C-alpha cells in the first residue's frame, strides 16, 4: 500500500489566485505579525476568518485539501 503524503505550500497572500465574485479556500491563513494562524478563505470580496466570520488581512496562506 502506497503511503499518502500531504504537503502544504505556504505562499505570500499577493500570489493567491483569487477572483472577485468567486470563493477560494479553505485556507490556512496568517493574519498578521502578532496573530495566530487561522482557517478561512476568500468570500469573493475579502479574506475572512472562518471561526468568527470577521474580515482579516492575512500575510500568508496555504490552500488546504478539500
- Grid coordinates representing 33 are 505579525
- Number of domains within the chain: 1
Cβ contacts of residue 10 below 8 Å, gap of 6+? 28, 30, 60, 61, 62
Q: Is residue 26 part of a domain?
A: yes
Q: Is residue 4 part of a domain?
A: no
Predicted pLDDT at 3: 66
> What's the pTM?
0.83
Q: What range defines the domain where residue 49 resides?
A: 20-63
Q: Is residue 8 part of a domain?
A: no
Predicted pLDDT at 2: 61
pLDDT tens per residue, range 6-49: 778 899 999 999 999 999 999 999 987 667 899 999 999 999 99
Amino acid at each position: 500500500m502506497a503511503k499518502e503524503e500531504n504537503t502544504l505550500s505556504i505562499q505570500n497572500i499577493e500570489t493567491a489566485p483569487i477572483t472577485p465574485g468567486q470563493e477560494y479556500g479553505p485556507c490556512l491563513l496568517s493574519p498578521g505579525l502578532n496573530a495566530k494562524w487561522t482557517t478561512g478563505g476568500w468570500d469573493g470580496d475579502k479574506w475572512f476568518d472562518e471561526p468568527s466570520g470577521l474580515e482579516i488581512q492575512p500575510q500568508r496562506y496555504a490552500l488546504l485539501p478539500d
